Amino acid sequence: MIQGKARRPNWGLTVAMSAAAITWQVYDMATATEAPSTGVLTLQWIVILCALVGGGGGFVMWVKQAAQK
């Protein structure tokens, strides 16, 4: 095990990845040629909701981390 300074999480990357997931899901839903089944539509909305929560939490932690510097 490596001893030394602990690695700080990269909250900016978390925010960027969440934004990419949201963009991809919204694009996928907007350009669909057929209406998805209820199960797929529900799963897409759950993924969007999770990405929003992750992005919001990542943004809050990013701001807190920047304020501590």
- Region 20-33: mean pLDDT is 92
Is pLDDT above 60 for 66? Answer: yes
pLDDT band (50, 70, 90) for residue 1: low
Q: For the chain, what are the domain ranges?
A: 12-68
Q: What pLDDT score was predicted for residue 68? A: 85
Q: What share of the chain is helix, strand, coil (3-state, %, to 5)?
A: 75, 0, 25
Q: What pLDDT score was predicted for residue 4? A: 65
Report pTM: 0.76
Q: How many CB atoms lie within 10 A of CB 61?
A: 15
**Amino acid at site 62:** W
Q: What pLDDT score was predicted for residue 6? A: 72
pLDDT band (50, 70, 90) for residue 19: very high
